[in-house]
Amino acid sequence: KRKVIIDTDPGIDDAAAMAIMLFSEQVEVPLITTVTGNVSLDKTTYNALRLLPLFGKEVPVAKGADHPLLREPVDASDVHGETGMDGYDFPEPNEDLLLNETAVEAMYRVIMESDEPITLMPIGPMTNVALLLREHPDVKENIQEIVSMGGSTSRGNIGIYSEFNYHVDPEAAKIVYESGLPITMAGLNIGDKALLYIEDLEKLQKANPVGDMLYHIFLRYRSGDGKVGLRIYDAYAAGYILNPEMYTTQKTFVGIETKGEFTSGASAADLGNSLGRTHNANVLVDVDGEGFKEWFVNSIKNLILN
Ligand code: BDR
Ligand code: CA
């Protein structure tokens, strides 16, 4: 089984991505690391620890960076709620799953101890991953791929061209994109093509307690009524790991803007190769939206709760 470390800031769409990954038979998740992003580090860690008992899963959790590399944190509680996962009455967190190690220490240990290369799935700002690569460059030898939710080939969602995760910590994203590791960019542009509507959410609600939880938090996500289609960004990254056939990809040079006056954190994805640079990323440029929706809803419907 492919081993995937989830680096996350739950986060409503993070919760969906975690559910999809943790119940998949195709992958094993040996570690979850948390980061400051949508809400503070304490809240994202608390959220990870209360999703796990609901899923009936015992995956170790390590706490990561409490602020971006060089900048002040930027909050997204307007999108995800004060708690980061508003809308559902969660069980108590399972504090026993919290490791004494930091995210960087735990990632380094798990990656170096693994017999096979590990995939990283950062679905928050990439601060932890950047710190890992900077402090332990030898870790690269045992990383298969980084599948990152972030960036965009078109518009942004926090700046004109900047997406939240890369905008919050552009220096971290830059380190990762310049690392030489295989990186897949699952950006905002995919969200426009695979929207979830109220009828999809209702299918989730009827399915099982995990689907019911997702239904309730999705209703609090942005518009709040499911009438405007929901873009469940982090789940598109999970979809690429588990079912890549749904996507069209393009090998592309991606530069991360750290200095732009209006473009901080923008992912300059050179799809037309105007710079003539060698590609450093595999960019998701399109998705079979209906296929994704069906796959996502069915994955939740068919998950086996112990
Ligand atoms: C990304 O930002 C966060 O709000 C979401 O969880 C997702 O990871 C989308 O821009
Ligand atoms: Ca996220």
The pTM of this model reads: 0.98
**pLDDT of 292 strictly over 90:** yes
pLDDT value at residue 223: 61
SS3 label, residue 155? coil
Q: Whose CA is nearest to atom 10 of ligand 1?
A: 164
For 232-286, write each residue's pLDDT tens digit. Answer: 999 999 999 999 999 999 999 999 999 989 999 999 999 999 999 999 999 999 9
Give distance in angstroms: CA of 206 to centre of ligand 2: 25
pLDDT value at residue 226: 67
Q: Are 110 and 118 in contact (CB under 8 A)?
A: yes
Q: What residues does ligand 1 touch, defined as CB less than 6 Å away? A: 11, 13-14, 38, 76, 79, 123-124, 149, 157, 163-165, 233-234
Tell me the C-alpha distance between 234 and 10, whole Å: 10
Tell me the C-alpha distance between 22 and 158, whole Å: 29
Tell me the C-alpha distance between 38 and 115, whole Å: 33
Tokens describing residue 153:
């080939």
**pLDDT of 33 strictly over 80:** yes
For 203-223, write each residue's pLDDT tens digit. Answer: 999 999 999 999 999 998 876
pLDDT value at residue 273: 97
What phi and psi values does residue 27 have, to the nearest 5 degrees? Answer: -125, 165
Q: Are 168 and 125 in contact (CB under 8 A)?
A: yes
Kindly give the number of the ligand 1 atom that is closest to the alpha carbon of 79. 4
Could you report the predicted ipTM of this complex, rounded to two decimals? 0.99
144 residue type, one letter: Q
**C-alpha pair distances (Å), 174 with each of 100, 133, 238:** 29, 12, 22
Tokens describing residue 238:
């999970």
Tell me the C-alpha distance between 184 and 198, whole Å: 30
